[in-house]
Each structure stands twice: as structure tokens, then as C-alpha cells.
Structure 1
Amino acid sequence: MEAQKILVEYLKQHGEITLGIYRDLLKTSRKYAMSILEYFDSIKLTKRIDNVRILYKGE
């Protein structure tokens, strides 16, 4: 999945990402980007902390 690859590569370089940055990376709408990020949260690829997301490492 290209959206996942873009997200993981960005997080490995920067450590965290905001919805706005992810929207810009995908060149899509805020609504669509939020849906994708929420999906990645639900499968524990990412974890939301306030307004940023990080790679999920388990607890």
C-alpha cells in the first residue's frame, strides 16, 4: 500500500507526523488522510498522541 509506505518512511526520518503533513504528502483531502491515519491507528501501525502520530511499538 503506497499510503503506508509514505507514512512509515516519513516517520522513520522524522519520528512523528501531523494530519496536515500527511495530507500534503498524499496530495489529498484532510478527510481522506484522517480516515487512513485512523485505520493505521486501529491496526496498531501508528499511535496518536495529542495532534501527532508515531510508529506504534507496543507497550
Structure 2
Amino acid sequence: MGLILLGDGTGNFTSLSPTESGLGIKGDIKSILKLKIGNSDFLIFGINQQRPEVYQIRR
């Protein structure tokens, strides 16, 4: 499993573990697409040799 890196827009990043982010995806992630449907935001992960996984962003 990897980490999520949050950028501040100036080249600095803070890492979040899967426990902190609530996101744990197994596999080799090849792409990520952010999608907005109505008032909801989603992330679609393209994973090598697997079906895409979709997660709703909750703030």
C-alpha cells in the first residue's frame, strides 16, 4: 500500500497513511480521475489488470 500526498501548491507535500485517509487500494494504480456529479465529488482509480474502483469524497 502507498501513501496519499497532499500538496500545498508550492512544492511541499504532507503524507497521509491509509488509516488517516480512509483509503486503501490494492494494486498498481495507473490513473486517477476526479469526477463531479451534482454536489458530490468522486475519485475513479484505474488499476492495472483490475476493474476501476470508484470512491466518493467525503469532507
User: Normalising TM by the smaller chain, what interval?
Assistant: under 0.3
Tell me the TM-score normalised to structure 1 length.
0.22
Q: Which of the two has greater helix per residue? A: 1
Larger radius of gyration: 2
Q: Which has the higher contact order (CA 8 A, sep 6+)?
A: 1
